Structure 1
Amino acid sequence: MSLEKIQHLEAQIQELRKEITSLRKEAPLQEVKDYTLRNSQGIPVLLSTLFNDKDELIVIHNMGKGCRYCTMWADGFRGIQEILSDRVPWVLSSPDEPEVLNEFSSSRGWNFNMVSIAGTDFAYDLGFEKREEGKRSYLPGVSAFVKKDGKIFRASYDSFGPGDLYNPVWHFIDLLPKGVDGWVPKYEYQLSNPSH
């Protein structure tokens, strides 16, 4: 395959991304209720309060402590939290109970805003939870919300997974001749080149 073909395909992908972004902005808003969630200290918080004094909000749908993929995504948010927070309030939601969320986030060095959705229909209503035979399973992703006329609406959403646009690790690995080559995210890493 020629470099020209790769460059042509990359240009097409960029144009398609612009089209998707435009279509998302034209999509109808989905009204949602003002869910009662809990912060990492177990204190109830309304979804509406997470907007602070803004009219937009981003919620990350994390699968919780048991998912090392979601843990890698959340680890990556440490590097963008101040930049993203300058534009919009955002929060990571987890199905873990607040005490588990608090302990795990402390062990990871996460100091961004987090809420527990345990015992709520928040993820289910938004399509990030499946219920089969009495069991709940969660899906990772992100939702963007807007407040208008005293109501909350979901404006758009997207899913997370290897190769998505929200975690650059996969894109770097894809540049390698062997690609992923059996690698999976871990809870702990050792630097192979600890030079400063």
Structure 2
Amino acid sequence: MKYADMNGKLADYRRQIADIREKMRETLAAAEPQEVRDYTFNTPDGSVRLSELFGEHEDLIVVHNMGVACSYCTLWADGYNGIHQHVVSRAGFVVSSPDRPAVQKKFAESRGWTFPMVSHAESSFAADMGYVSAKGGWMPGVSVFRREGDTITRVSDTGFSPGDDFCTLWHFFDMLPGGVGHWPGVSSKPSCCH
């Protein structure tokens, strides 16, 4: 196939993806939110409630991170770090992981991360949100919450995996001959995901 023909075919696929994204937004808008309780998390400064993580916003994005043991979660966080200031102009944001606050703080400092982190180690939060596997391992993803008065609801969520839309590196690799190839430790499923 000639390059120009291939380019036209890829442009058509991208239009189809854009159409599917619009359908996803419409489906999401019609979904009934899931009411959740006001979970308590731990930070280096003490405990904090889910309701406090919204700050001045009605919406809150919580990333379900698997912690320092997961190279994929670290890759995602490294990439996210640069856009954090833009995200928090629209919604509250926090990364939740099973690591203890001291471990989170030390690792975040070593990576230069600027976003807030909370520990769900002493909470059923990850399990209740569906981010613990049947075998008891942590799973990566993101949940979006909305606060209206004293009520908190989860309005959407999705898992993270290699090739997803939340780590831009995958999309750059997709454009290379051979795709991801043998980039360090790549498999169809991260070994840290159980």
**Does the pair score TM above 0.5?**
yes
SS at match of 2:74: helix
- Paired letter, 1:57: L
SS at match of 2:89: helix
Counterpart pick for 1:33 among 23, 32, 37: 37
1:7 pairs with 2:30: no
Structure 1: gaps of 5 or more residues: 187-196
Q: Provide the aligned C-alpha RMSD in A.
A: 1.5
Residues in 1 aligned to 2:45 and 2:120: alpha-carbon distance in whole angstroms: 11
Q: Deviations over 1:44-86 (max 9, x none)?
A: 1000000112211100110000000000001111110111111
Q: 1:77 to 1:12 in 2, by over 3 A?
A: same
TM (norm. structure 1) is 0.88
* C-alpha deviation, 1:185, in angstroms: 6.3
Equivalenced residue count is: 182
1:137 pairs with 2:141: no
- Paired letter, 2:14: E
Structure 1 residue ranges (4+ consecutive) displaced by more than 4 angstroms after TM superposition? none
Q: 1:111 to 1:143 in 2, by over 3 A?
A: same
What is aligned with 1:19? 23
Residues in 1 aligned to 2:57 and 2:90: alpha-carbon distance in whole angstroms: 10
- Percent of residue pairs identical: 42
Residues in 1 aligned to 2:100 and 2:110: alpha-carbon distance in whole angstroms: 16
Structure 2: gaps of 5 or more residues: 187-194
SS at match of 2:155: strand
Residues in 1 aligned to 2:39 and 2:122: alpha-carbon distance in whole angstroms: 11
What is aligned with 1:90? 93
Q: Deviations over 1:119-143 (max 9, x none)?
A: 21001000011253xxx31111111
